Homo-oligomer: A and B are copies of this chain.
Amino acid sequence: DEVLSEDNIGECDALLIAINPKDTVEFLNSHAQMISRKTLVIDCCGTKRTVCAEGSRLAEKYGFTFVGGHPMAGTHKSGFSNSSGDMFIGAPMVLVPPVFDDIQLLDRVKKVLDPLGFGFLHVMTAEKHDSVVAFTSQLAHVVSNAYIKSPTAREHKGASAGSYKDLTRVAWLDPGMWADLFICNRDNLLRELDTIIASLGQYRDALEAEDFPALRELLREGKKAKEEVDGP
C-alpha cells in the first residue's frame, strides 16, 4: 500500500509490470538486481516473445521468478485515468510460464491474480501467444484504423448500423503503444496483413468480374469459417 520505489521493491511478494514492451524490458534491466528471490514478477505486455526472453534471462541471473502475462481486456482508451476496478472480471488472462509442468508455480500465480477476477487463465508459449494475438487483436486494430480512413466515412451520417460501429470501434487507439506492439510482433502481423489483403483481393476481383457464383462462394467460405470457429 505504498508507492513502489527502489527502496521497497525488494520487499514485494509479487510485482506486476503494466507498461509498454520496450519500457518493461528497460525497467526489468534496471531493477532486476534489486528484486528479491522470493518475488513473483508478472508483466502485462501485449506481445510476449521479447519480454519473456528478457524476463526469463534476468530471473535466472538474479533468482526471482518471472511469468509472462497478457490480460486480454481493456477499452480503446488508455492511461491510468481510464482504468477501472472491474476491468478484468471475466476476462481471459494469458500466462507464459518459464516451464509448463510446475503446478506449484501456476498455483502461486493463480493466488496472486485471484482478486482481479479473471474468467480464465490460459497457459501457452510466447510463440503461440504472439501468433494468435497478431490475428485476434493487432490485425483488428490495423483493419479498424484503416477502415475509417475512407473518404466516405465523412458522409455516412444517418446511414449506418451495427456493422459500421463494430468495424470501426477500435480505430481510436494509442498510436505509439500499438506501433510499438506491432513492431515487436512484426513477423506474425505481416503474415496476417498479407493474408487479409490477399483475401480481400479475391472478393475484389470476383466483384469486378461481376462473377456472382464466385462472390457467393467466397462469402460462403467465410460464413463456414466463422461457424466452425464460433458457432452460428
Contact = CB atoms under 8 A, between A and B. Distances in A.
B142 A175 contact: no
A219 B149 contact: no
Residue with the highest number of chain B CB atoms closer than 10 Å, among A128, A137, A203, A222: A222
A57 interface: no
Number of copies: 2
- Chain A interface size band reads 35 or more
Given A136-B161, A159-B94, A225 B152 contact: no
B158 A140 contact: no
B207 A168 contact: no
A228 B148 CA distance: 10
A29 interface: no
A54 interface: no
A219 B175 contact: yes
A217 to B, nearest CB: 8
Interface in A192-232: 192-197, 199-204, 207-208, 210, 212, 215-223, 225-230, 232
Given A178-B219, A190-B207, 10 more contacts: A128-B155, A132-B152, A132-B160, A133-B159, A136-B159, A136-B160, A139-B150, A141-B163, A171-B225, A182-B207
By Cβ-Cβ distance, the 5 closest A-B pairs, closest first, are A145-B222, A140-B163, A175-B219, A136-B160, A135-B152
